[in-house]
Every structure is written in structure tokens, then in C-alpha cells.
Structure 1
Amino acid sequence: MAPQESPRRKRRDRDHEQHRERRRRNSDTPRRSRHEAPSSERSSQALSANSLAQLNLINQHERARAQEKTPQKTRRKRRPEIVDEKIVDERSRRDHKRKKRRVVSGALLEEGKSQKLKGIRGGYGSEDGGDGGKKKKRLWLILGIVTVIVIIIIVVAVVVSKNNSKGSSSTTAAATSDTGAPSNSNLNGVSESSIPATAKGTDLDPFSWYDTTDFNVTYTDETVGGLPVMGLLSTWDDSKAANDNVPPIATSWGSYATRPARGVNIGGWLSLEPFITPSLFSGGIVDEYTLTTSLGSQAKARLEKHYATFVSEQTFIDIANAGLDHVRIPFSYWAVAVYDGDPYVYRVSWRYLLRGIEWARKHGLRVNLDVHGLPGSQNGWNHSGRLGAIGWLNGANGATNGQRALDMHDKLSKFFAQDRYKNIVTFYGLANEPKMTALKQEDVLAWTTNAYTLVRKNGITANVVFGDGFMGLDNWQGKLTGLEGLVLDVHQYVIFNSGQISYNHTQKVDYACSGWTEQATKSMNVATGFGPTIFAEWSQADTDCAPNLNNVGVGTRWEGNYNVGDPSIAVLSPGCPTKNSACSCTEANANSGSYSDAYKQFLLMFAEAQMTSFEKGWGWFYWTWKTESATQWSYQLGLAAGILPAKAYARSYNCTPAAPNFAGIPETY
């Protein structure tokens, strides 16, 4: 190797110092790999063979050290850096430093292309004597390939992200199936861009729905009678019958006087009740008003999850399999409208009501539409939505709320007058349990007449149902006459009457067979009662012990601690047959697995006795299909416990012979 001259060493040192200064100035910016010197300069500064050999060894050693020190996943591509022409003659020393900074792309390393890159980027290897322009072309080609790969990865990631977001948007409470929530897979073929900007996140936007199962998810803002048809398919099929004993929906039912309805309520679903779903009521929550007030902005998500999970298509399958042929579906006015100060969740329950009707249709079940809560509350009980004062046809806003209820029925009747509902909706309810013992009788009668006239004018051909108002069936003779298809609705229980709750087990069966049969017969005769009468609520409970049944935190008549602040109805001594401290709600609320065979026999006989009596009228609807824990109020749990007939039309007891002596059953629970 030729000796180095002192001036060259000085120039080299100066150049090195200038180069280090440039590196310090550029330390905060991405680095570029250096360009090769032009071939003309390379030839004029040719090195000896020994120099090349030594530099090649140095380069190989430095490349190995660089790869050992820099993990593949953390290596960064360097941006090209312009080389000062003054130091070209020292390129060999700096070239091996450059090799330390040159890093192969992680993506290319994973594809097994690192060796090729070493051949191209290796500096003074077999490629050293070639044209520098070719190397630059190769370098840019490689950079182009890497860029394309990165772009492809980004595009794929964006597409996957969009596809995943179709099932749930930022406005929906829906979760994926691994959380137990609906997967909403029928949204996969729908583009969110098809939803108008003004509708995004509203109840018309299917991407905002918790559950889209069996809903039509094509966006529409179409309405009938001012109510949306959202979620409905354009076609329907009325060919199904609930069982072989009843006609398919498309065929007329005929006379309910000769073929009574056998049905069940789906209570606690779209209108909440504390004793049905006690898990929703705690910490001072006593009704749907206080629940939605407490939940605030979270109310919609919480209640829609309840609507979507408390009832499913399987509910209707099981109801039909139990030999039932009708369902009564309670819902409240906020399915249609809300007013200033209302905390209720607006119109979400409407969509679930429509889907419930379609599931009923699919399994041959006819529908009784029941408005369970009216504006202002028609009875002041928690199942009307708000516990407390009656504000419907009563108080300062009574007339306003009466008109609001008529406006609600104007919309509802126009909607359900459509052809798709003429066969399946066979009962159209006006008001559940108006408390006529507290309201002016003439006001309720006038409102009922107006509501009947309105819905008939709007095309409702179904039987129109009104509540007996707790006046007693005998008192309806001669009232509301001349209104064709108007049906009186009565709810029969022994446990809410302090005189009847004390009946022993034998007396309860006897009363169901004799007392209620007599009442049904008299009510059906226009000479002694109103006429057409249906029994739309009853249960086989023989105590009022179910938690929250008499309102949240309120005691029971059974144990003698029932007090809601009204001395006229308070029961402050034990009301069970023994009328002493032995009266126990603990045993009454025990799991059905602890029931003795004799007690199961009584409960089954008590239920079948009521079915027999109520079929002297237009039929019956058990209250209710499902509860979280109250077995004697749940048709579903009663079937599982063996205390209801497996088929409602195939019963073992019809009030003949008389009830046996249930002496072996304690009368304290």
C-alpha cells in the first residue's frame, strides 16, 4: 500500500471533521443512504488490489456487526445522503461505515430477499466496478417495491376495518357474539353510506340497533299513520296455525264464544314491572319513570338490551308448543310519542313490538294489542310507567293527557288497520286497568266511546277491548251498548282481595270453579252483564308474596305488613288462612324444586279450574309468560315445574269432581 502523504492526512482529517459536523446538524432528520460516486471519479481514484481486498474484509466485518446490533424489527430505512465531492478519495473508509447504516427492509427479510440486497448494496463486491446509475435504478426499484407493499398493507387494513365496523357503529350498543350479544350479521351487506346523514344514530338507523335479527335492515323513513315501518319486510305469510285445534291465521277464528282464546301475556317486556324483572329495580327505583330518570343517557342502551334479550323467537315457539293460540303484548305510549319532561325511551320498543308480532305470525299465534301505560298514568300503579298520582282524565293535566291518549290511538289504529294486521291482530286494547274507583266514571265512559269511534273510523276491524275498571262485572250491564265488537276485559285474582286471600287451598279451587264461572256466565249475558267478556289476566299464585308484587319494598297481605300509605286498604295483620305469625312468605317464595307433590297437585288444579271458568267467556290470557324468579306468575316456569298442563287444550281437571281436601298442605304458604 503506498505511503500516505501528510497533506492528504490533514485534508482527510479536515474532511472527516466536516462530515461529522454535517451528521450532527442532520441528527434530527431521517437519514438517507449515500449515493455512489460517479463512475468517472471512481476510475480516477482507483485503489490497489490489496486495498480492495482489505476494505472488502472490513466491509463484511462491519456488516455482520451492524446486523448483530440491530434487530430486524427495529431497523429503519435510511434516506439517501448527498456526499461531498471533496472526500470521494476517502470513500472506501466511509463506505464501510455506510454499510453499518444500511438496513434491509423487515418485510423483504421476511420474504427471504436479504441476500440479493446484500449483493446490490454490498459496496465493493462484485458490483463495485459497475455503473453507479444502474445501482441507483436498482435501489429505487427496491424502494418502489417496498412502497407498494406498504400501500397494499394499509389498504387491506382499511378495508378489513370498514367491514368489521358494519356490524356496529359508534352509535350502536351492539356487541359481538362472543359477548353474548347479537352478531347483527345481516348488516354485512349494507353500506353505512346508504343511511342519510340526518338519520344516522336515530331509531331509523339499523346500525344504531342493538339487535338486527329478523329485522329488515334496508333503510326507510316510510310511515303509516305517522308511525315508521322500520324493520318490516314487505311480505308476510298468514298460513300458519298455532296447533291442530285452531285455524290458521288467514282463516277466520269464528266466534270466541264457542272457540275461546287460550293465551298468555308477554308482560315485563316492553312495559316493565318490578316483580317480573327485579334485577332492574334496586336502589330506590320503583317504576320505569324512575329507572329511565336514573339511567339518563344510558337508558336507551340498557332498555334496548332488555327488549332484545328478554324475549326471542324461541319465546313464541315455546308458547305455541304449550298449546296456546294467542299472545297479549303490553306496551306503553312512549312506543309512539313522548312529551316534555318524559324520561322514557322513545320508540325503541315500537320496533320490537312489530318484530314480536311477526314472530307470533310465523308460529300461528294471534295477537291482543294492549296499551299498558297511558299519558299521565291511568291508575297510578308502577306498571303504567309511573307510580303515584293518576294524571289521565284527572288533575290539572287530565284533559290534556286524555287527548294525548286519543292522539296515540289515532296513529296506532291507522297503522294496524293495514292489511298485514287484519288477520293477526284480533284484539285491540284501549287502556289497561283504568282505575275507575278513583276516576269519574262518566269521564272514562266518554273517553272510551271516543276512542272506539276513532279506531273504527281509521279502519280497525278487530275486537276493541276496554277494562272493567274494578267496578265489578254486575255494574257493566247496560253501559256502552250498541258498540259492535266492543269487549269487556276483566282481571281475576284472589290474592289482592283481603277477604279472598284467606281462602284455604280447597276453597280457592272451589271459588275458581263456582264463583268465577258464575261471574263469567252473568257477564256474557247482556241481560245481566255487559256482554262479550274476556279474562286477560290471571295467575295460579295463592299468595301475594312475590318480591315487588305490591310495589317495590312494600309488604304483603299474606304476612300482614301491607301498607302503601292508604289506611283504607292497609292490611296490618296476617291474612293467610291461619291468620297468625305462622304465615310465611319465605316458604311461599321458595324454589319450585321444594314443592311437595300435594302442593303441585293443588297448583295444577287451581290453574285448570280457572281455565275452565274463563272459557265460559271469550277465553283467557295467563299473566305472564316469563319472570326472573316468581314461579307461580310464570307460564314458562310453571310448565317446567309441572304445575301447568303440558298442552293448554288437554287438561286433566275441568271442575268435576269437586276439589279434594288438601289437608296435607300447610296453609301458611
Structure 2
Amino acid sequence: MQEREHEAPFVPYSDYPPPRPLAGTESPGGSESYRDERASYPPAGVSPNNSSALLDARGEPESDWVKGSSGHSKGMGTLARVLLGLSALVVVAAAVVLPVYFVVIKPHHKHSSSSASSSGTSTGGTTSTSTPGGGTGPNVVGAVTTGGDGSTVTTSTGETFVYSNKFAGYWVDDPADPFNDGASPNSWTPPLNTSWDFAKNRINGVNLGGWFVLEPFIVPDLFQAYPSAKDEWDLTTLMAADGTLQTKMENHYATFITEQDIAQIAGAGLNWVRLPIPFWAISTWTDVGVAPDGSTVSEPFLPSVAWKYIVRMLGWARKYGIRVNLDLHTIPGSQNGLNHSGKFGQINFLNGFMGVANAQRALDYVRALTEFITQPEYQNVVPMFGIMNEAKLTVIGRPQLTSYYIQAHDMIRGITGLGAGNGAYISLHDGFDGLSNWADFLQGSDRIILDSHPYFAFNGQPNTDPVDTGTDPSSAGGVWPKKACTGWAASFVKSRSAFGITLAGEWSTSINDCGLYLRGVNGTTTYGGNCADWQDASQWSAETKAGILQVALASMDAFQDWFFWTWKIGNTTSGIVESPLWSYQLGMQGGWMPIDPRTASGKCAAVGVDVAPFAGPYSAYQTGGSGAGTIVASSLSSFGQFPPATISNLPSGAMGFLPTYTATAGIQTLSYVMPAVSVTPTATPTVSVGSGWVDASDTASFVTAVAGCTYTDAWSALSLPAPTALCTGAA
């Protein structure tokens, strides 16, 4: 019997502990998706999956352990220096070691006894003399295993930097206890080894967009090198043609976001990241059907390579106490036809005659990810799983999408078990259909979250109202701060009552759609002014920056729980960021994003929009309590069938001829593997790193093509002839 998660009243920003003033850092007192608007198979037993060996067998995973730098200090030469050192040691031991013991190590001992701490310190950190696995024998003494502001961090690649965190956050990195979940990014966020309370704790998060799922406006230099590429499908095709695919993509994965970025996110007062990942981090198919010219269509994405960088990132998140909302951003066939789905153009997920087959593949990817993140080594780090980004409900259809969500929910909970503490919360995007239309959705489901992506930039309006109206917080930003509050605050509060946990999974401070490639390569903007004014932040006035800051604060206050899109925008070939309103990092550096997100508290009330926050509590089933997992009969009777009874955009009578795949392929297990580094490992822990597959009873095969059947290109099926007969395979 699972212990019921404690329910606490919803706590608005105003009830946070007040932020401490930081010297020199005082701040001056859409319905449609953004980012672009474009427009025979193997024989039985052979899968078209194209995945690396590390994802296949369940053998010994590759390990990559990197020890921190030595924590020994040099001896003192005089009595005075000895006394000074002893007095400093007493102060540091009292200030650092005791809090770390009671907050970091002691809670972890509920699960493990392999970690211990000495009173030695070095550059603000504490050292470990533990023996790997709790056995006998020497360990490397003096490795710095935890520290706060001013401590020296050794990265997983062997570099060092000084950790800056003015909010009492601390990192934890013990080579002998690599899955220690005791870190916290700040004083108001519980450490990873403490359950997150969605009614009490506020999500202040940021997306890591453009890292594993490429978008032209986030990584413009990659696309500028290939002017004809409009999406990752095109880009990887062109890279493969000139022989640079592996080199360029690995370089991007290795350098676009680094460990220091995650440390900076913690130091920025943030506590979550949303991590968009593609299905090709797991595998691609080398045969997704036949093109009109008779050639076999192969998915061009670099298969499997991103996974090791994703695993390393999860380790970084653990180290700095950052929780991860893992978001499956791409779906076979495309769920929205946008460039960040992998291929711009058609929607072939649950739409058209290859829609069901693509959904079958998608469920396999959801399953593999669920098996991995539900392992005890990762469950605290990944408490939320977005199973599909921005599915376009108006094309796919609400009944069809609901059928898929029920199927995915039941599959996931079959792996994790039901109730609080059993697997991640399941995040569902609102499909651009508005929060109010999701009231009472799937009552009785086990821990689902509604994710909305509100943007000013894509409302289709010219948006020329000025934002540079002064530097006084009461007037800066013009009409825009109030628009944020009136447009979003009440709807999010109502959704928390009518649906349950609701958050803004993406938003930005961009009040217009200016930015290189923001509307896609060769896209057209709707802004009524000169976009050049918004593409070089070095030219912005103090009034402009002050105005954007107030827009940010109003948006944060309106949403309460949010993930800004995105942490970082890469430079163009001109050497500057040409979509600066979309970079949280650049905004903090430039003064138009807050140094402390808690300063957003009360902003809506200050502009005359005083919306009472959700008072709670959530219904018991919504947080894994009583009734969780028992979906109401009315939902099951209407939408419980999968595949759904009908599919949109099919010719009359074609439902009986839909191509499907067969579950006869091998299971793909995600392994613990990280990129190789030049630093020689100095300690190898004997703790388990997990098999990658938490549910040993889950033995069903993955899907593959039916032997003897010919399929139409699964990414372009809408423009190709529909089948006129059902293929059942070789006789």
C-alpha cells in the first residue's frame, strides 16, 4: 500500500521566503505553435530499426567516472597560521558539514549506506573518505564531494570552475556514491531526495531547446551553413551528403550546453529544466516506406548518438539539484508538421492512412523511456515526462488523441505501478485547444499534468504597442505586463481547479515574432514594425530592457509554474544572438530577465490584476492518492479503444485498409552510457547503474513491418495514394 502524498495549500510567490538583495543586481522597480509555420519491408524477424549496439543488449553498460580534484590543503608553517587554519576549519565545518550531513547525506541513508563524509573542506566544499560500495579497502581521499557558493567544481570532463549561487544552493558529486540525490539549487527548493509537492512548491524552470532537437532560430549557424535546410531532416540529409553528420552533430551535442550551463541555471534561482529530446536518440528506421519513385525512404537523423549526452545531462541535473521534465519532442511521421517535430510539412501521426502505424512506433519510444527513467537511479531526477510535444489536436482530432493518451497512460502505469512515488508524472500538451477545453479530462487517471504554451509572439497581430515606456517598474513595459496578467493568470488558476496540475511548459518575453528564423527558414513575420530593432540587444535602450523585465515578471506571476523557452540561443554567423528575447541566459546578462524569479511575486496585483491563486488541494487521484489509476467509465467507453475507431483525413471506406506494424521486433533497452572523455577515471563505484529496464515482467516485443507488406512513406503519406486492400503479410 502506497503512502499518500501530503497535500498542502497552493503557495503563491508572495508566500515564498523574501529574496535576499544581491549587491549590484537589484532589478529596476498564441494559441498556435511558434518557431515556424511552413507549410517492401524487411522479412519476418528483421526490424528496420537503426540503433547502436549500446541500446540493444542488456549487457554491461559503458562507464565513465570522473573524480573531482583533490581537497587537500597545504600545511601551515607557523603557529599563527595553524591556529588560523583551525579556527577556519571549525567555522566551515559547522557551517558546511553539519547542514550537508542532515540535508544531503542523512536523507540519502534511507536508501543507501555507502556514503560518508569527513570534516575536511576545500574551496567551500566537503570531502569524502568513503569506500565505494561500502566495502573495505582504500578510496581516493580528498575528492571534493559537495559545495556551495564559491566552491570549486570539477566537471565531468575534468575542467574546474567556481560555483556561483547566492541562494544557498549546493551541489553533490561523490564518485563513490554517484546516484546521491541530496543536492538542492536554492533554499526554497527541496533536495532531489524529497518528494516534490505540486501544491506547495513552485516550478521556476527553463527549457534546453535546440540542444537535442535542432531548431533554426536556436542554432542558426548550423542552418546558415546549409541555406536550403528548413528542418533537421533536411539538415542531417545534407550533412550526411558531405560526410560531416557524425562530427558536426556530436560537436553540437558536446558544446551547445555544458555542465556550467546547468550550474548557472541553479545559480539563477531556477529549479527545473524541460529537456526536449528526439525519438532518434533511441533509434531510427532505415526503411519507413516507399517513395513515389519506388526508392526506399530512410530516416536521415543521426541515430542513438544523442542518448549518451542525455544521460550525462541527467547526471549534471542530479549534481546541482535540478529536476528534469523529460519531453519527447518528436514523433514518427510528425505530430504537428512543424520544424521541431523533425520534419516540416505533413502530420502523419494518428492522421491519414499511416497514422496508426506511426502511433505504434511512438508508443515503443515512450515505453523505452519510461523503463529507463523509472529506475530508482533516475526517478528522483526525472519526476515529469512529457510524452508528446504540441500535438495538433485540430488536425488529429480530440477523440483520436484521447484514445492515444489513455493507451500511453495505461502502458506507463503498467510499468511504474500506481500512486505517488511510482514513476514520473505524465505531462500532456493542450493541443493548442485552450485550457478550458480540458476540464475534467480523464478523471481518475494517475498523476497527469496539463502543459500549455502561451506566447504573445504568435497571436497573428502586429504587436506594435511600445514596451520602452520608462524605467520605473510601475510604468515600464507599457500595456504588456497587464496583458500578460489579464490573458493568463485567471485561466491557469481555473485550470488547476477544473483539470488539475497545470503549467506553462513554454513561454518567452518576445512581444513580437522578430528573430532570425523564428518563423522558420524564409518565414514571414506579422510584426508591424522593423524587426531589425529586436535582433541586436546591444542596441537596446535602458527603457526597452526595463520594459521587457516587467513583461517577464508579469508572465511568471501569471503562470506560477513555468518553463521559459529557452535557456540559450546560439550566435549567428554575424557573431551575435539575433533572437535575444528568447534567451534566459542572455537576458540575465543584459538585465531584462530577473536575477531572482521570486521578485515576480505580486506583479499582477501591482498592475491591477489581482487574481486569487489556486487554493488547493488537488484531488487525491491527481497526486497519486486514493482513486489514482481508475479512469472514469465514461472516458473509457468513449475513448478507451486503441487504435481509435476513426482516423482523420482518410478516403471513404479506407479505415479497413489501414497499414499497421506487428510486434515481433526485439526490445530496445536504453543503457547507462556517457561520452568518452580524456580524463582518466580514478574511482569506479561498485553500485548498480541500472539495467535500463525497470519492469522485468514487461517482455512484449517492439513493432516492425509486417513481412511481405509494402508500406507508403510514413512521413509523406498524406500526399500519396491510399491503399485499397489490407495487407496481411506473406502467405
Q: Same fold (TM over 0.5)?
A: yes
- Aligned ranges 1:393-412 → 2 under 5 Å: 393-412=350-369
Instruction: Indicate the SS of the match to 1:281.
Output: helix
Deviates more, 1:244-253 or 1:496-505: 496-505
Instruction: Indicate the SS of the match to 2:187.
Output: coil
Higher helix proportion: 1
Number of the residue aligned with 2:436: 474
> What residue ranges of structure 1 are gaps of 5+ in the alignment?
1-197, 217-231, 559-575, 577-582, 661-669
The Cα offsets for residues 262-318 of structure 1, whole Å up to 9 and x where unpaired, read as: 000000000010000110113201111001111114212210100000011001000
Give the CA deviation at 1:652.
Answer: 7.4
C-alpha distance in structure 1 between counterparts of 2:202 and 2:526, whole Å: 33
Give the CA deviation at 1:501.
Answer: 3.4
Number of the residue aligned with 1:252: 195
Change (3 A) 1:199 1:347: closer
C-alpha distance in structure 1 between counterparts of 2:398 and 2:349, whole Å: 13
Query: Which of 643, 654, 661 pairs up with 2:592?
Result: 643
One-letter code of the match for 2:595?
A: A
C-alpha distance in structure 2 between counterparts of 1:522 and 1:411, whole Å: 34
One-letter code of the match for 1:541?
A: S
Tell me, yes or no, if the aligned pair for 1:337 and 1:347 is still in contact at 8 Å: yes
Query: Which of 325, 329, 335 pairs up with 2:275?
Result: 329
C-alpha distance in structure 1 between counterparts of 2:361 and 2:304, whole Å: 16
Matched, 1:389 2:338: no
Change (3 A) 1:415 1:199: closer
- Aligned ranges 1:222-621 → 2 under 5 Å: 235-254=178-197, 256-282=198-224, 283-296=227-240, 297-339=243-285, 340=287, 341-459=298-416, 461-499=423-461, 501=463, 504-505=466-467, 506-526=478-498, 530-558=499-527, 576=528, 583-589=529-535, 591-615=536-560, 619-621=561-563
Tell me, yes or no, if the aligned pair for 2:462 and 2:512 is still in contact at 8 Å: no
The Cα offsets for residues 352-387 of structure 1, whole Å up to 9 and x where unpaired, read as: 111101101100101100001011111000011110
> What residue ranges of structure 2 are gaps of 5+ in the alignment?
1-51, 65-154, 159-174, 288-297, 417-421, 468-477, 571-576, 610-731
Deviates more, 1:281-290 or 1:495-504: 495-504
Tell me, yes or no, if the aligned pair for 1:215 and 1:355 is still in contact at 8 Å: no
Tell me, yes or no, if the aligned pair for 2:557 and 2:601 is still in contact at 8 Å: no
One-letter code of the match for 2:184?
A: A
C-alpha distance in structure 2 between counterparts of 1:235 and 1:521, whole Å: 39
Number of the residue aligned with 2:568: 626
C-alpha distance in structure 1 between counterparts of 2:427 and 2:327, whole Å: 9
C-alpha distance in structure 1 between counterparts of 2:340 and 2:261, whole Å: 22
Instruction: Indicate the SS of the match to 1:345.
Output: coil
Give the CA deviation at 1:631.
Answer: 1.3
One-letter code of the match for 2:490?
A: E
Tell me, yes or no, if the aligned pair for 2:534 and 2:580 is still in contact at 8 Å: no
Instruction: Indicate the SS of the match to 2:334.
Output: coil
Tell me, yes or no, if the aligned pair for 1:523 and 1:531 is still in contact at 8 Å: yes
Number of the residue aligned with 2:121: none
C-alpha distance in structure 2 between counterparts of 1:233 and 1:438, whole Å: 51
Change (3 A) 1:351 1:554: same
Higher relative contact order, structure no. (Cα contacts within 8 Å, ≥ 6 residues apart)? 2
Tell me, yes or no, if the aligned pair for 2:427 and 2:449 is still in contact at 8 Å: yes
Instruction: Indicate the SS of the match to 1:311.
Output: coil
Tell me, yes or no, if the aligned pair for 1:287 and 1:387 is still in contact at 8 Å: yes
Change (3 A) 1:275 1:452: same
Tell me, yes or no, if the aligned pair for 2:339 and 2:520 is still in contact at 8 Å: yes
Instruction: Indicate the SS of the match to 2:605.
Output: coil
Q: Which runs of 4+ in 1 moved over 4 A?
A: 202-208
C-alpha distance in structure 1 between counterparts of 2:599 and 2:265, whole Å: 15
Aligned residues: 413
Give the CA deviation at 1:508.
Answer: 2.0
Tell me, yes or no, if the aligned pair for 1:605 and 1:653 is still in contact at 8 Å: no
One-letter code of the match for 2:520?
A: N
Tell me, yes or no, if the aligned pair for 1:240 and 1:364 is still in contact at 8 Å: yes
Give the fraction of aligned pairs with identical amino acids, expressed as a percent. 38
C-alpha distance in structure 1 between counterparts of 2:317 and 2:552, whole Å: 24
Change (3 A) 1:461 1:503: farther
The Cα offsets for residues 1-60 of structure 1, whole Å up to 9 and x where unpaired, read as: xxxxxxxxxxxxxxxxxxxxxxxxxxxxxxxxxxxxxxxxxxxxxxxxxxxxxxxxxxxx
C-alpha distance in structure 2 between counterparts of 1:439 and 1:501, whole Å: 30
Tell me, yes or no, if the aligned pair for 1:494 and 1:500 is still in contact at 8 Å: no
Give the CA deviation at 1:233.
Answer: 9.2
Number of the residue aligned with 1:59: none
Number of the residue aligned with 1:91: none
Give the CA deviation at 1:396.
Answer: 2.6
C-alpha distance in structure 2 between counterparts of 1:199 and 1:474, whole Å: 46
Number of the residue aligned with 1:142: none
Instruction: Indicate the SS of the match to 1:437.
Output: helix
Root-mean-square deviation (CA, aligned residues, Å) is 2.6
Tell me, yes or no, if the aligned pair for 1:264 and 1:624 is still in contact at 8 Å: yes
One-letter code of the match for 1:495?
A: A
- Aligned ranges 1:12-51 → 2 under 5 Å: none
**Scaled by the length of structure 1, what TM-score is found?**
0.59
Tell me, yes or no, if the aligned pair for 1:199 and 1:205 is still in contact at 8 Å: no
One-letter code of the match for 1:613?
A: A
One-letter code of the match for 1:404?
A: R
C-alpha distance in structure 1 between counterparts of 2:402 and 2:462, whole Å: 29
One-letter code of the match for 2:458?
A: F
C-alpha distance in structure 1 between counterparts of 2:413 and 2:558, whole Å: 31
C-alpha distance in structure 2 between counterparts of 1:207 and 1:412, whole Å: 20
C-alpha distance in structure 1 between counterparts of 2:375 and 2:495, whole Å: 32
C-alpha distance in structure 1 between counterparts of 2:415 and 2:53, whole Å: 29
C-alpha distance in structure 2 between counterparts of 1:602 and 1:337, whole Å: 45
Tell me, yes or no, if the aligned pair for 1:509 and 1:659 is still in contact at 8 Å: no
Tell me, yes or no, if the aligned pair for 1:336 and 1:350 is still in contact at 8 Å: yes
Instruction: Indicate the SS of the match to 2:526.
Output: coil
C-alpha distance in structure 2 between counterparts of 1:524 and 1:440, whole Å: 24
Give the CA deviation at 1:502.
Answer: 5.1
One-letter code of the match for 1:422?
A: Q
Number of the residue aligned with 1:45: none
Instruction: Indicate the SS of the match to 1:534.
Output: strand
Change (3 A) 1:215 1:342: farther
C-alpha distance in structure 1 between counterparts of 2:356 and 2:465, whole Å: 42
Give the CA deviation at 1:555.
Answer: 1.5
Change (3 A) 1:280 1:501: same
One-letter code of the match for 1:648?
A: P
Change (3 A) 1:502 1:435: farther
C-alpha distance in structure 2 between counterparts of 1:656 and 1:478, whole Å: 29
Larger Rg, first or second structure (1 or 2): 1
C-alpha distance in structure 1 between counterparts of 2:237 and 2:537, whole Å: 35
C-alpha distance in structure 1 between counterparts of 2:202 and 2:548, whole Å: 22
The Cα offsets for residues 632-653 of structure 1, whole Å up to 9 and x where unpaired, read as: 1000000011001112224476
Number of the residue aligned with 1:190: none
One-letter code of the match for 1:555?
A: T
Instruction: Indicate the SS of the match to 1:525.
Output: helix
Instruction: Indicate the SS of the match to 2:329.
Output: strand
